[in-house]
Structure 1
Amino acid sequence: MKSKLIAIALFVAAAFTAQAQDETSTTAVKPTAGNITTEVLFNDFGDISLNNGLLRARYFASNDIAYRLSLGLNYDYDKISEEAHTRVFGLTLAPGIEKHFAGTNRLSPYIGAELPISMQSAKYEDDDNTIEGATSIGGGNRSFFSVGLNAVAGVDFYFAKNFYVGVELGTGLAYTKDADIKVEGNFSNETKGYHNVRFGQFVNGGIRVGYVF
């Protein structure tokens, strides 16, 4: 978290310094209606990744309204031995909307909301036993369904035409329902899933670097 806050502070300082040097410019570098953006994330001054494992794109329906969609998929098949294997599949969708404000020639502050929906299925199989809902009796990689609502705020800095860097933070509420774990075979058992509700703040990684189509 400390490195993320330092990265955000450096971004803000660089953005305002560059903006001060470019106040007289009238070159249009910010996206307008019909543009699409996509981005990657720079974490801890070097690591490059998707946004928390999600591929994100935005469509600008107008100069100040953008629809966003984050998508994540994961599949893991692990062959533990000749007789045993685990299988995990996960899907995340997070549609949302952003309202952008005038800002300056290069800075585009915005607020928005998103609806993250996630689900995961997990299974373990060997010659004698099958576990549905997790990859172990203890609940490893448990199947679940989650839905939430996030309020976000951020700023994008367009350092060149079609290229930008940005930061984003937010707060959100999430409901999660863990699946039942059913064991069939030599040792049959069933563990009921439980519900969880969380509310908290978050920072979306480090520095977002994006491109405008």
Structure 2
Amino acid sequence: MKKLFLVGALALFSAVSAQEFKPTAGDVTVDLGVAGGLGNTTINLPDQGFGTGAMFKARYFKTENIAYRGTLFVGNVSETDNSTPDIKKENNFYGFGLGFGMERHFTGTERLSPYVGGDVLLGYGSMNIKSTEITTGDVEELKGPGVFRFGVRGVFGADYYIAKRVFLGVEAGLGLMYESEGDTTLKRTGDADVVTKGGSSFRITPEVVTGIRVGFAF
């Protein structure tokens, strides 16, 4: 009888200990990833290709296995290039993305929580490149194109809990995106503006989501 009680107690303790690492129903997790890239003007939603920026993700666990997710990406690059004599070049890139979706988590292990899910995505990005000749004051400025994107994406990933309710996460996915690109305007001192018309397209894009993320469960 004592042995049976001891086995039952150990099993219960193990189950409780395992649950301490992972979120349960009603919990919220937040995580942060940092994306790099210099002068990358491609807009891949929601969290890569905007240049240098940061991606935030929050999840609400309706049950231990089902979570609702929201993502936010903000990217901004402002840099000055003086590598060419007598020419000052200013580059400005901006990107903003939002995603809303759901995840289905599987049993995994005590610390590992694999999942699949999906997002609805939208975002906007733009750029501005300005070159100024120091001696003459002549300016060449490229504005646009502004890029708007809307689409859906399926994802798969995993969270590994390195400590109680602290995890590292990785994720990848495949998205179907509609992209609308605005006009590009080239301005030169003394010349008429040159306008290049934009367009729109659909495409399927594989994505790795911001490498490794660090997150916390509350």
TM-score, normalized by length of structure 2? 0.65
Structure 2 CA distance for aligned equivalents of residues 103 and 157 of structure 1 = 12
Give the structure 2 partner of residue 5 of structure 1. Answer: none
Alpha-carbon shift at residue 132 of structure 1 (Å): 4.4
Match of 1:37 in 2: 30
C-alpha separation in 1, matches of 2:209 and 2:118? 17
Where do 1:192-207 residues align within 5 Å?
192-204=196-208
CA-to-partner distance for each residue in 1:9-31, whole Å, 9 max, x for gaps?
A: xxxxxxxxxxxxxxx95211222
Q: What does residue range 39-54 of structure 1 map to in structure 2 within 5 Å?
A: 39-40=32-33, 52=48, 53-54=53-54
- Report the CA distance between 1:148 and its aligned residue: 2.2
CA distance in 2, matches of 1:123, 1:116: 24
1:86 to 85, 90, 96: 90
Contact 1:94 1:115 in 2 (8 A): yes
Other structure's SS at 1:187 match: coil
- From the CA coordinates, give the structure whose radius of gyration is larger: 2
1:128 aligned partner, one-letter code:
D
Q: Report matched runs for 1:88-103 at 5 Å.
A: 88-103=92-107
Partner residue of 1:150?
Answer: 152
One-letter amino acid matched to 1:91: G
Distance 2:75 2:213 in 1: 21
**3-state SS of 2:212 partner:** strand
The runs of 5 or more residues in structure 2 that have no matched partner are 1-12, 37-46
Change (3 A) 1:165 1:67: closer
Question: Quick one: which amino acid aligns to residue 167 of structure 1?
Answer: E
Give the alignment's TM-score, normalised by structure 1. 0.66
Letter in 2 for 1:58: A
Distance change >3 Å, CA 167–CA 41, structure 1 → 2:
farther
Residue 70 to residue 189, structure 1, CA distance change in 2 (3 Å)? same
* Alpha-carbon separation, structure 2, partners of 1:117 and 1:110: 22
Letter in 1 for 2:31: T
The equivalent residue for 1:60 is 60
Choose 78-87 or 182-191, whichever is displaced more. Answer: 78-87
Quote the Cα distance in structure 2 between the aligned partners of 1:89 and 1:42: 14
Amino acid at match of 2:28: N
Aligned length in residues:
175
Which 5+ residue runs of structure 1 have no aligned equivalent? 1-23, 44-50, 134-141
Of 116, 120, 126, which residue of structure 1 is paired with 2:122? 116
Matches within 5 A, 1:2-41: 25-26=14-15, 27-28=18-19, 29-32=21-24, 33-40=26-33
Q: 1:72 aligns with which of 56, 71, 74?
A: 74
CA-CA distance at 1:130 after TM superposition: 4.3
8 Å contact from structure 1 (residues 41, 205) kept in 2: no
Check conservation: 1:103, 1:109, Cα contact below 8 A: no
Report the 3-state secondary structure (helix = DSSP H, G, I; strand = E; otherwise coil) of the residue aligned with 2:22. Answer: coil
CA distance 1:42–1:113, shift in 2 (3 Å) = closer
Q: Which 4+ stretches in 1 moved above 4 angstroms?
A: none
Q: Matched residues in 2 for 1:68 and 1:116: separation?
A: 12
Aligned residues: percent identity?
A: 7
Give yes or no for contact 1:87–1:123 (8 Å, CA) kept in 2.
yes
Across the aligned residues of Structure 1 and Structure 2, the Cα RMSD in angstroms comes to 3.1
